[in-house]
Structure formats: C-alpha cells, structure tokens
Structure 1
Amino acid sequence: MNETFNTSLAWVDGSDAPELGTVDVGFMALTDSASLIVAATQGFAQPYGLNINLHRQPSWANLRDKLVNGELHAAHSLYGLIYAAQLGIGGPATDMAVLMGLNQNGQSINLSRDLQVAGVTTPEALDRRTHQSDTKLTFAQTFPTGNHAMWLYYWLASQGIHPLQDVDSVVVPPPQMVEHLRAGRIDGFCVGEPWGASAVSQDLGFTLATTQAIWPDHPEKVLGCSLEFVRQYPNTARALVMAVLEASRFIEQSQDNRRSTAQMLSGEAYVNAPVEDIQARLLGEYVDGLGNHWHDHHAISFHRNGEVNMPWLSDGMWFMTQFRRWGLLRDDPDYLAVARQVQQLALYRQAAQALNITVPASPMRSSQLIDGKVWDGSDPVGYAHGFKLHALAAAAPVVADR
C-alpha cells in the first residue's frame, strides 16, 4: 500500500484534490462488480482522498433510474444501459459517461434441465426445437438494451434463430434468474456470473455457451455515471477511476487474490451466493452441467495490463450498432461522435498514466465474432446493416424494462 500512497499524493492535495470526500456507487449482485467492491473495502480509495459508499441495487432498471436522477454518483453498469440512456431509448435522453471498463468476458447462456432431458443440448438441437415446435421457448435477459440481451440476440442469430420472432424474451434481474428457471417460467437465460454456475450447481440447468465464445475478450460492465458528474467533479471522477484501477490490478496479481475476492463477494452484503459458485468461474474453471470441464483462456478479466479498463470507442459503438440492428433505434446515430462524447478517454488517460498503466495509442480495437464478422469500428453503418437476421425497422419498438 505504500506504493499506492506515493503515486496518489499528487491527486489529493491542492487543486487536484477530489471535490467530494464520499461518493455513492451502485452495483448489482454479480461477480463482475468485484473491482468496485475491492476498491471500496480494501483501502484502495482512501489514499486518493475518497470514500466509496456501496449501494446494491435490485435491478438494472432501478440502478439506471438512480444513476440518471443523481441518487447515485456512479455505478457498476451495463454498457448497453449507459448508451440507451444517452440515446433516449426507454426514457428521456441524458448525457452519460463511461469512465472505464470494469471487466471483459464472464457471462453465459444457460438452458433448463427440461431441455436437456429433451435432448436440446447443442445449438443444432435448439435450432430444430425452435423451428419445428408450435410453442415458443422463453429466454430471459437482464435489461432490454443491456449486454445480456445483445449477447443472447447475437448468439441466437448466429445459429439461425431470430431472437425477436422465433423465441420470446423477458427481463429478469440477475439474482432472480435461477428461481425463474426452477419455477419453469423460463427455458433459458443469459446472465453474468455466478448465476449460470449456480444453475449448474443446483442441477437446474446447463451452460450451452459462454459469451467469450461469442466474442473473445468482449466488453462487459463499465464504471458509468452522468456526464454532469464528470463535469462538476472531475477530480473526484479521476480519483474514483484510479482507486478502481488499483483494485482491478490487485485482483489479477495472483490466483490467491482471486480466491480472496471470491470469498468477499460471497458475503450477504454483496453477491450473497455460495463461494463455490463464484470462485470456479472467477478462476476460469468451467463445468457446464453436461459432463464437460475446461479451463477457459478467455474467462472473466478485470485488468490485463489495462486492456480491459480502456474505454475503447469501438466498444461503445458496437452496442449502438446492435441497437440499430434490432430496431431499438429508428435511424443510424453518428456512432463515432456519440462514442467520443460518452467514453471519457482524456480522464482515463490521466488516471492510467499516473499509475504507469499503458494506454493504447488507438481508441479502436479489432475483433472477430462467432459469425466470422470482424468489428473494428471503421464502418458502423455498414456493419449494423450487414446482418442476415435483423429487425431494422422504420419505428423503434417500445422498450419495457420492469
């Protein structure tokens, strides 16, 4: 901690001192809230003159409302939640900000034990079940414009299943997924951990696909806030980023640190789940409920020398292309201009450089997804319109998030 204190001295005195001594930060009961919880509870914020008050939220809709109306200064957020608020999807448009990435990878698509018994254990079998039955399957995701909706839609479409026509989609808060599966209200879900692992450990379902199989090292949760917060309290925002960067780096310093993080997350105040359900996939060890076990080389990551934390312009742009693809936007926005406003690159660069964390020269990155398409941010309009399965519509659908 001495090194942390020394590097932070420049940011706690004089004109660089945080304008606020305490910030209220929201989170959901998910493994990928880890770096925020570690930053708040393990002494990473105090050297920057900051105290982080954590507030667990019951749903993403609740978190979104409190973030927009100022009850929360910042939050563990879905990329898609931030950009939907920015674009006025599902509510009034509000200028939003992504301060940094919190994690990549670590979500999963899971099906019920009933489907397993019926032999629906492969994408091909799911495709047959979807197109040959008179009854639609019901899949849950966590927020209408959220990451899990976009992963579910993308994966289904890559298998030839239209996510808005061939199946029904409902919104369920992450901690309630397993109970909905148990009650038979849903046939499957896409969610963050540990709830996929929990369905497997309780013998209620199995993991059919991980989201890192859709997009290796995909963007996931972010540290989000309103743009007003950044403009009014820039030093506070930078101090918060620095504290969370330190915590992110700490988690990945050793497997023992990951284990201790899992133990902490299991507590009643945080994720409130058995440590076994959290730890295995946090360490990259997967059991899918079908008898398969593997070490995932693209398991959840929190830092990876800053690659995870960089607020890539192309990451924000991708979610907007999917909003357009599925009819959540009537028209193509100015993808790059919107991302430049939301992604707080200058502030992140200050924080990272002060901690000797490398900042990539380009704000764009290139990735190949499960369907073979390459996304690099160079042609967002062409990308959004280039899918065989889509719902590009003249009028955006009504978005219900409760």
Structure 2
Amino acid sequence: MSDVPVRITRRRFLQAGAALGGAMLLPGVMGAAYAAGSDAPELNTVRVGFIPLTDCAPVVMAALKGFDKKYGISIVPSKEASWAAVRDKLVSGELDAAHMLYGMLYGLELGLAGKAHPMANLMTLNQNGQGITLSSELLESGIRDADGLAKRVAASAPGTYTFAHTFPTGTHAMWLYYWLAAAGIHPFNDVRTVVVPPPQMVMNMRIGNMVGFCVGEPWNARAINDRIGFTAATSQEVFPDHPEKILGTRAAWVTQHPHTARALVAAVMEAARWIDASPDNRRETARVLARRAWLNTKEQYLTGRMLGEYDSGAGRRWQDAHPMRFFNDGDVSFPWHSDGMWFLTQFRRWGLLTADPDYQGIAARINRNDIWQQAATAVGGIATPSSLLRTSTLMDGSRWDGTRPAEYAARFAITR
C-alpha cells in the first residue's frame, strides 16, 4: 500500500462543491458555508467539553477566532473538572462532543470504564506534548531517569512508591505504564497507581500523595516552577508523534447530526492549522489559554513547551524534535486506524481486555474517516493519506504499523 498522500487540489475542491449543489465555497469566501439548504448544520450551537490542558487549544481557538461561524455553527466550550465528568456529561447528552483522551473514548466503546456506549472519533486534536514528572525528593536522592528509579523500586517493598495518571484507559495511563515497564518496573506489581484529575496533580505531589505522575501540560511545567518536581521523560520520548487528545462524541450524535459533525470538524481543523501556522500564533494561543476562563494559569507555563522549548527542571534543556503538534499538513488530525488499534493492544497487554478484540473492526467503527474527509474537503488544501495505517518506533525499539496487532500485543515481557 502506497504511503504517498493524495493532495486535495483546487479543482477537486470545486468539483466537490459543485456535487453538493454549490454549498461549499473556496477558503476566504466561506462565510456562508453550509449556512442554508439541506446541507446546513442541523444544530446552531455545539457544546464541546474540555479539560484545562494546553491541548484543548484547537477547540478554544475555533470558538474565539470565529472559525465555527465560518461553517454555520457556534461552538460553546464547557470547562470540566475531570475526565470522569467529561465522560458522564457526554454520555448523558449534556455535551455534544468533547476534547477527550484517545484511550478514554475507546474504553467507553468497549465498556471498560463504565457502561458500553457506541462512540465516534471525529479527529485527533494533537500529537505529543505530555510529560512524566518525578518528585524533587527523588531528584535530590540522585534519581534522574527511569533506570535510576528502577533500582530504587527494586530495593523497596512492592507498592512503596505511588504514581498518578488521569484516567484508567486514558493516554496518560498508557504512557506511564509503557515507560515504567520499559525500565523493568511492573506498573501494577511493583508500584501503586492512582487516578488524579489534571488540575490536581501538582497539589497532590506537593503534599506527598505520589512521587510521580503522567499528565498533559501545563502541569509538568507548573511542577518545575513550583520546585516540587522535574520532567523525567516526555510522552514523545515514549512514542514519537503519538496520538493524544481527540474530538469525540457519541455515534448516535453523528448519525443524527452529520452536517453539524462535519462543520465542527472543519472549524476545529482550521483552528489547528492556524495555531501551527507560526510561532506567533502559538504564542497568542498560549496567552489566550492562560486566562481564567480557560486554564487559569501563567502564560510562562504554556509558551515554552508550546514552542517545543523544554527545560527538564534538572539541568537539561533542548528544542524538541517532536513538539506538540496540532495540524502538520493535516496528518495530526487524520483518524489513523493504527492509532486507535495501538491503544487496544495496550488494553490487552494490561488485562483490560481478556482476549484479543477485533482490532481492525473496532477502529473502523469508531474512527469516522468519512466525516474527517468531508471536513478536510471543506477546509481545502489538506493532504489525505492513502493508507489508514502509519508506522512508529517506540522507546524500546518496538515497531508498530497496525498490521499484526494481536502479535504485537503479545510481544511484551511485562504484562498483566
């Protein structure tokens, strides 16, 4: 299967618009896009939940920059306290869609974090940009990385050390487990793990409830600023250009509101493209997100890592080769089936699934490439990959390409 992307040309864009009765207009004159006729969004207002993390940026900027109006909808971002709150409000219908952990949505579909609900992944919101923080006490005792931590854990009674992540089937749990296991630390037998909402991570480490956590920004940077922790690893060191947050919703919502779903994805996709267009746009995004209505934090906690400028808090500084990305010519937002399947392999590895699932079938059911393609065509100028699978090499040298998921899930020495 060729990996050469198919570029959506201006001619193809116009042809698509003609096929839809002229409802689609060229970028720059799309103020009335999907504003009338049978192609109009079924809803005027779309309620989108988010957790105060840097990677909610495309949702927030889509609303504040007016990209939503361009496609005939009004996005109303709803700030939530925890991923459990996002889950409950999305399932109940109080939210139309949400900024979500990738694995969280797959867990909902499979009933791994509550009652099973048919779900839909409309697009990926970002790649990279999470972190694993260890406490300053560990740093002061000479521990700077996973190998040093492994020696300390091996010399201690099981469960002596506690680590936090944000949701049982979420991305942060999977990055933390993978990082620990790669160093020979069993995340269930050797240490204790707990769930803590992102905004509460720093406070819980400050009072000694855990010695490490995995979370999104700005909470890793905040831990450094408050001198209670340091960045031992970034999530992109675990899995370069990994999928992170997604724009998720209920499958039934897409069935009932297909034009609204397309408009929502188009608006958020265009906001993501705007954010990635320049360092100045990223700086502006950081200034906006720092405000009380969004992350309620200091701009300085956001800007550096938004620009890929890292300071570990332990003497290491670098310009990251895999910074948080929101667009990258559309590759970030594409609902790669292999991305969803990877989380299923980790659910199998850690005993969340007791048998191999239908990896390909589940990814095809959840990841709505049809909605993404319609939105990409509306936005214009976005490359469409010719394959639903992509290849990645993780920190332990394992190669993931989505072709033999059951074999991949069974390859790990440390499992549950």
TM-score, length-scaled by structure 2:
0.92
Paired residue secondary structure (1:65): helix
Q: Does 1:379 align with 2:401?
A: no
**Displacement after TM superposition at 1:60 (Å):** 0.3
Paired residue secondary structure (1:372): coil
Alignment identity in percent? Answer: 52
Which residue identity is paired with 1:361?
S
Structure 2 Cα separation of the partners of residues 122 and 86 of structure 1: 35
RMSD over aligned Cα atoms? 1.1
**Displacement after TM superposition at 1:4 (Å):** 4.2
Moved segments of 4+, more than 6 Å: none
1:399 corresponds in structure 2 to none
Structure 2 Cα separation of the partners of residues 156 and 390 of structure 1: 12
1:299 corresponds in structure 2 to 323
Match of 1:244 among 249, 253, 268: 268
Does the aligned pair in 2 maintain the 1:317–1:339 contact within 8 Å? Answer: yes
Match of 1:326 among 350, 354, 371: 350
Match of 2:183 among 159, 162, 183: 159
**Displacement after TM superposition at 1:103 (Å):** 0.1
Match of 1:16 among 39, 46, 49: 39
**Displacement after TM superposition at 1:10 (Å):** 4.5
1:398 corresponds in structure 2 to none
Structure 2 Cα separation of the partners of residues 3 and 268 of structure 1: 36
Which residue identity is paired with 1:110?
T
2:362 corresponds in structure 1 to 338
Q: Does 1:110 align with 2:133?
A: yes
Structure 2 Cα separation of the partners of residues 339 and 17 of structure 1: 28
Structure 2 Cα separation of the partners of residues 48 and 331 of structure 1: 43
**Displacement after TM superposition at 1:47 (Å):** 1.3
1:232 corresponds in structure 2 to 256
Deviations 1:203-262 (A, max 9, x none): 110000000001110000000000001000000000000000110000011100000000
1:178 corresponds in structure 2 to 202
Structure 1 Cα separation of the partners of residues 128 and 249 of structure 2: 22
2:111 corresponds in structure 1 to 88
Does the aligned pair in 1 maintain the 2:32–2:72 contact within 8 Å? Answer: no
Does the aligned pair in 1 maintain the 2:31–2:69 contact within 8 Å? Answer: no
Structure 1 Cα separation of the partners of residues 389 and 398 of structure 2: 16
Structure 2 Cα separation of the partners of residues 126 and 239 of structure 1: 47
TM-score, length-scaled by structure 1:
0.95
Q: Does 1:205 align with 2:229?
A: yes
**Displacement after TM superposition at 1:3 (Å):** 6.3
Structure 2 Cα separation of the partners of residues 271 and 178 of structure 1: 14
Does the aligned pair in 1 maintain the 2:146–2:179 contact within 8 Å? Answer: no
Paired residue secondary structure (2:52): coil
Structure 2 Cα separation of the partners of residues 177 and 93 of structure 1: 28
Match of 1:37 among 45, 60, 66: 60
**Displacement after TM superposition at 1:202 (Å):** 1.1
Which residue identity is paired with 1:138?
T
Paired residue secondary structure (1:6): coil
Structure 1 Cα separation of the partners of residues 123 and 234 of structure 2: 23
Which residue identity is paired with 1:375?
W
Does the aligned pair in 2 maintain the 1:149–1:190 contact within 8 Å? Answer: yes
1:124 corresponds in structure 2 to 147
1:389 corresponds in structure 2 to 414
Which residue identity is paired with 1:237?
A
Does the aligned pair in 2 maintain the 1:10–1:16 contact within 8 Å? Answer: no
Q: Does 1:28 align with 2:51?
A: yes
Structure 1 Cα separation of the partners of residues 109 and 82 of structure 2: 19
Which residue identity is paired with 2:342?
W
User: Relative to structure 2, which stretch is displaced further, 83-92 or 5-14?
Assistant: 5-14
User: Is the alpha carbon distance of 1:148 and 1:18 closer, same or farther for their aligned partners in structure 2, counting shifts above 3 Å?
Assistant: same
Q: Does 1:354 align with 2:378?
A: yes
**Displacement after TM superposition at 1:350 (Å):** 1.1
Does the aligned pair in 2 maintain the 1:111–1:189 contact within 8 Å? Answer: yes
1:394 corresponds in structure 2 to none
Match of 2:164 among 140, 144, 168: 140
